[in-house]
Amino acid sequence: MFERIIVPLDGSRLSAQAVPFAAEVGKRFDAEIILVRVLPPVGLSFVPQGTTTDDPVATDIIPQEARMKDVDNASNAKRYLMNWAASLKAQGVKVSYQVTIGSPAKSILELAQAQGFSDCDDESRTGRIQTGDYGQRG
């Protein structure tokens, strides 16, 4: 019935509560659990207070700092998912994980389409893909 189950995690305790349920379904149907963490791009949200884009030094440093922050966030997210994956593997669950940077709803939808989930599109609220309220907006 289920071959793959995508479990989006945002690092919160609330999202982590889905993992044991997904693991149980995964074991029951011999399905692979795909843990995914979508990080928003840091981009210009990293601009320090009092910095203007007219400052030539700031326009060189800010993108570098933002890229470094993205790499650091992705590294932490990967470690978080690796810990969950190790725990699930120890329970005999098939598991993989992926960290992406982008819009959560769009990134999860693209992952589902890449994994062959057939009935997922931007308008879908039922079927194989069910997102929470946050996922529908974000």
The pLDDT tens digits for 86-103 are 999 999 999 999 999 888
- Label residues 32-41 b or e (16+ Cβ within 10 Å = b): bbbbbbbbee
The pLDDT tens digits for 18-32 are 999 999 999 999 999
The continuous run of DSSP H or E covering 8 comes out as strand 4-8
Architecture of domain 4-137: 3-Layer(aba) Sandwich (3.40)
Pull the structure tokens for residue 82. 């690796």
Alpha helices per DSSP H over 30-132: 56-90, 104-114
The pLDDT tens digits for 113-137 are 898 876 555 444 433 444 444 444 4
Can you give the residue ranges of every domain in the chain?
Answer: 4-137
